[in-house]
Amino acid sequence: MSRFEDLGLIDPLLRAVKEEGYDTPTPIQQRTIKPVAEGKDLLGVAQTGTGKTAAFALPILQRLNAVPMPSPRHVRVLVLSPTRELASQIGESFARYGRFLHFRHTVVFGGVGQNPQATALRHGVDVLVATPGRPLDLIEQGIAKLDKVGIFVLDEADRMLDMGFIHDVRRIIGKLPKQRQTLFFSATMPQEIQALSKDILTNPVRIEVTPPATTVEKISQSLYHVDRHGKFGLLRKLLQDPSLKRTLVFTRTKRGANKLAEQLNAAFVKADAIHGNKAQSARERALENFKRGLSRVLVATDIAARGIDVDGVSHVVNYDMPDVPENYVHRIGRTARAGAEGSAIAFCSPEERDELKAVERLIRLRIPVRPVPAGIAHPAPEPPSPHGQRPALQAHAGHRQVQPPQHRPGPHPGPRHPAHAGQSPAPHPASAAGPGPNPPAPPSPAPAPQSHAPRPNAPSHHSVPRRIAWRKHRR
Ligand code: AMP
C-alpha cells in the first residue's frame, strides 16, 4: 500500500497531512501527487469527495516552496472553482496543508465587498482561489495580474459549463501565460469540456477515479409516500426524534428552502437556509451555525450544497425528490461521512413518483417505505403497473453497491422547470434516457407491495456497502 512518505513530499507537508489525520493517500492522491510535483499537466476525471483537493494542493505547495515569493500584484497559482463555498473550502485546504510553509493565499468571489480582496491582491499572492467572475473585474481594474501564473487549476469544469461560467473561464484562460502547468478536473467529460481540455492541456497525465461519496456504506435509506401538503407536518413529526441531531434538508427551489426554514423556526426548530440567492455572509453564517450545532436543520438546494463538507450530518431529508436522479446520490452522500453512520429519508408526493422511479433505477434499489404517522396526509396507494405490480428492483436486503452516477448533466439548453432556474440543471441526454451504464436489475418475480405501508420483506434500512479504506480517522 502506498504511503504519503513514498510520494516524495517534503517534511512540512507530511507533517500537515499527519495532523489532518490522513493515514494513506486516496487513489487520486497516489496517482497525482508525483506527476504534478514534477510539473506535468493533469486531466483528472474525479469529483469532490475523492480527496482531489489535497491531490492538487499538496504538490502545488511543494512546487511553490521551491521558488521565492511573488512580486506585488502577481499571482503564481490560480485555482478556479464554480461555487463560492467550494472556493472557500479549497482556500481553507491550502491553509491547512500549507500550515508549516510560508506562502500567501487568498480567496475571491462576487457578492461581497471588493476592498479586502483588492488589498490582499495588491501585495501579490502565491495562490488565488476564485470563482470566475470577480478576477475578471479585478484584472480590468488593474488590481490583479495573471501574466505570471505558473500553475492553473480548473476545478469542476463540467459544473462551470452547467452554471454558464464557461465563457468567463475561457476569458480568464486567455489572460494566462501560454507557458504554464495546467491541472484540469471534471466529474464528467461532455463534449465541450473535452474540447476545452484539449485546448488547454499539453500531454496531460490522465487519471480517472470513482467518487466514494456514492459508495458510502451505513446510509440507512427510507421513504415516505406523503401528500405535498403533508410534508411539513411529517418533517416536524420526525424532528421530534432527538436522533435527528444535524439534519440537512434538500428542497428543489430557493423559495422552497426559504419558506421551509421560516416554517421550522416558527415551529421552534432552529433552521437556516442556504442557496445561491443568499449573500455570501449569510451563507457562511448558515454553514457555520450548522457546523457548530447552533442550528439543527440546514435547508439547502442542490447547487448550494455541492462541495459542502460538514462532518456529523446525522440525517439527510429529501424534502423534494431531486429533478436529476444523480443528485439523490450526491445528497445522501452528505451523511455517513468520515466513518459516521447516517440516514437518508425521502418524501415522495404523488407528483414526484416519476422522479422516485428514476432514482430507484439509478441506485438499483427499492428504497424501503415507512408508514406515514397518523394525522398526516398521505396519498392513495400507487396504481398497479400494467403487469399488476411494480417491479421489484431488488426485493431482498442484499448489499449492492450504489454505482456512481456516470452522467452528470452536460451542456444543456436550460433548466427543466423555469421555476428552478439555477438550481437543477436539465439531465444529460444520456442520463435522461436511462440509468447510465448500469441497467436496472430485471424485474423479480417476488411481488412488491404497492402501498405506503412497509413491505413485509423490506429491510428496515439498506446499507450501501464498501467502506472507503482511506477515510480519515477522526482525532
Ligand atoms: P475532497 O475530494 O478534496 O473534497 O476531499 C473529501 C474529503 O476527504 C475531505 O473531508 C478531506 O479532508 C478528506 N481527505 C482527503 N484526503 C484524505 C486522505 N488521504 N485520507 C483521509 N481523508 C482524506
Per-residue model confidence as pLDDT tens digits over 216-243: 456 889 999 999 999 999 999 999 999 9
Q: How far is the CA of 90 from the centre of ligand 1 (A)?
A: 11
Residue 294 amino acid letter: L
Q: Is the pLDDT of residue 390 over 50?
A: no
* 8 Å CB contact between 441 and 447: no
Q: Which residue shows C-alpha cell 439531465?
A: 427
Predicted pLDDT at 218: 66
Is the shortest distance between the CB of 29 and ligand 1 below 6 Å? yes
Instruction: Sort strands 297-300 and 271-274 into parallel, antiparallel or unpaired.
Output: parallel
DSSP 324: S
* 8 Å CB contact between 275 and 84: no
272: enclosing H helix or E strand = strand 271-274
Q: How far is the CA of 352 from the centre of ligand 1 (A)?
A: 34
Q: Is the pLDDT of residue 412 over 60?
A: no
What grid cell was written down for 218? 451505513
Query: Mean pLDDT score of the chain, rounded to an integer?
Result: 78
Is the shortest distance between the CB of 47 and ligand 1 below 6 Å? no
Which of 285-294, 346-355, 453-462 is the most confident on average? 346-355
**Residue 458 banded pLDDT, cuts 50, 70, 90:** very low
Which residues are bridge partners to 74 per DSSP? 145
Pocket test residue of 9, 13, 20 for ligand 1, highest count of atoms within 8 A of CB = 20
- Of the chain, the percentage scoring pLDDT greater than 70 comes to 75
Q: How far is the CA of 69 from the centre of ligand 1 (A)?
A: 28
Q: Is the pLDDT of residue 287 over 90?
A: no
Q: Whose CA is nearest to atom 15 of ligand 1?
A: 51
Is the shortest distance between the CB of 53 and ligand 1 below 6 Å? yes
Q: How far is the CA of 335 from the centre of ligand 1 (A)?
A: 15
**Residue 308 banded pLDDT, cuts 50, 70, 90:** low
Q: Is the pLDDT of residue 420 over 60?
A: no
Q: Which domains does the chain have, with CATH numbers?
A: 4-208 (3.40.50.300), 219-385 (3.40.50.300)
CA distance 201 to 153: 11
Predicted pLDDT at 284: 82
What does the pLDDT look like over 12-66, one tens digit per residue?
A: 999 999 998 888 898 899 999 999 999 999 999 987 778 899 999 999 999 999 8
Q: Is the pLDDT of residue 288 over 70?
A: yes
Report the predicted TM-score, pTM, of the whole model to 2 decimal places: 0.56
Which residues fall within 8 angstroms of residue 173, CB to CB, at 6 or more apart? 152, 200
Q: How far is the CA of 50 from the centre of ligand 1 (A)?
A: 7
What does the pLDDT look like over 165-189, one tens digit per residue?
A: 999 999 999 999 999 999 999 987 8
CA distance 458 to 18: 43
Q: Is the pLDDT of residue 301 over 50?
A: yes
Q: Whose CA is nearest to atom 8 of ligand 1?
A: 51
Is the shortest distance between the CB of 472 and ligand 1 below 6 Å? yes
Look at residues 137, 125, 12 and name the one whose alpha carbon lies nearest to residue 79.
125
Q: How far is the CA of 314 from the centre of ligand 1 (A)?
A: 19
* 8 Å CB contact between 411 and 190: yes
- Of the chain, the percentage scoring pLDDT greater than 90 comes to 48
Q: How far is the CA of 261 from the centre of ligand 1 (A)?
A: 30
SS3 422: coil
